[in-house]
């Protein structure tokens, strides 16, 4: 997968070269290109923003510079792009979105700052290829860069070969519609607290049932909305207690 990020702070995206993502890039599983939006400005101050029409506080990112930048970035690779514009007013980014993005050949991210990007940029490119305005949560960040880090990490770990053990992603929270239950490792007793006995029993059926029950219990308590949205056929007879 090819990932392009257009931003006024390319240095903010340095973590894309660290850890799991860095290894995925080294292995050729993802290819990341960072682009400085200011390199498409034409004035001495490299201006990327202007006052909002209609008045009000803050500044809006200018469409001309975004148009030049995105035209050039999109033309720099032949793979079909999906443009992702982080925005608090966008659709919620979820594990289902991450799964859908993991099937794309190319994601191009446009990082807003200030009051965001002139809406005509999204409207213009939406006529040419898929464009999503995406929110990573109901709060407001200073810029889109942190959102891009979140989205890329969630997507990249789903790409074949990125995680050492692909079962990890398959058994994570949200993959079966539930939150994952608690996990334990050695020692058997820590500060007076013992690991649940069933996990040490070697009885795989009992362990699977215990894990399923803890996942259901945790989801019911913390995210009843997820449980309510679970289709009937995803619950078995023993699940009905929840």
Annotated binding site for S-adenosyl-L-methionine: 112, 136-141
Choice between 140 and 237, CB closer to ligand SAM: 140
Phi, psi of 103 (to 5 degrees): -95, -5
Q: Is 106 one of the annotated active-site residues of the chain?
A: no
Q: For the residues of 47-97, what is the DSSP string, one character each?
A: --EEPPTT--SS-EE-HHHHHHHHHHHHHT--SPPEEEEEEEEEEEP-HHH
Q: What is the DSSP letter of 117?
A: B
Closest CA to 5 of 140, 150, 137, 159: 150
Which residues fall in the annotated binding site? 112, 136-141
Least CB distance from residue 162 to ligand SAM, whole Å?
A: 23
Letters for 18-57 (x = contact with ligand SAM by CB under 6 A, - = none) are ----------------------------------------
Stretch 83-142 residues interacting with ligand SAM (CB under 6 A): 86-89, 111-113, 115-116, 135-137, 139-142
Q: Is 115 one of the annotated active-site residues of the chain?
A: yes
Q: For the residues of 191-203, what is the DSSP string, one character each?
A: TTEEPPGGGGS--
Contact criterion met (CB below 8 Å) for 110 and 6: yes
Least CB distance from residue 110 to ligand SAM, whole Å?
A: 8
Q: Does 159 bind ligand SAM (CB under 6 A)?
A: no
Contact criterion met (CB below 8 Å) for 93 and 135: yes
Q: Does 173 bind ligand SAM (CB under 6 A)?
A: no
Q: Does 147 bind ligand SAM (CB under 6 A)?
A: yes
Catalytic residues, by residue number, are: 88, 115, 157, 172
Residues near ligand SAM (CB under 6 A): 86-89, 111-113, 115-116, 135-137, 139-144, 147
């Amino acid at each position: 997968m090819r990932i392009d990020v257009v931003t006024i702070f390319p240095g903010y995206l340095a973590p894309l070269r660290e850890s799991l993502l860095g290894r995925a890039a080294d292995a050729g599983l993802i290819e990341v290109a960072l682009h400085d939006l200011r390199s498409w400005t034409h004035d001495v101050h490299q201006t990327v923003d202007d006052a909002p029409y209609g008045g009000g506080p803050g500044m809006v990112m200018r469409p001309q510079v975004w148009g030049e930048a995105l035209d050039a970035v999109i033309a720099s690779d032949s793979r079909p792009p999906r443009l992702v514009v982080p925005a608090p007013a966008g659709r919620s980014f979820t594990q289902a979105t991450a799964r859908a993005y993991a099937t794309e050949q190319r994601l191009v991210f446009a990082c807003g700052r200030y009051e965001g990007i002139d809406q005509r940029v999204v409207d213009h490119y939406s006529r040419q290829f898929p464009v999503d305005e995406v929110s990573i949560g109901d709060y407001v960040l200073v810029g889109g860069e942190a959102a891009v880090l979140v989205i890329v990490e969630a997507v990249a770990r789903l790409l074949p070969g990125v995680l050492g053990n692909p079962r990890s992603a398959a058994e994570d929270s949200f993959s079966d519609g539930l939150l994952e239950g608690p996990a334990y490792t050695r020692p058997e007793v820590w500060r007076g607290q013992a690991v649940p006995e069933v996990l040490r029993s070697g009885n795989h059926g009992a362990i699977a049932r215990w894990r399923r029950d803890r996942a259901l219990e945790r989801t019911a308590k913390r995210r009843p909305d997820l449980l309510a949205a679970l289709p009937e056929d995803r619950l078995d007879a023993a699940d009905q207690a929840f």
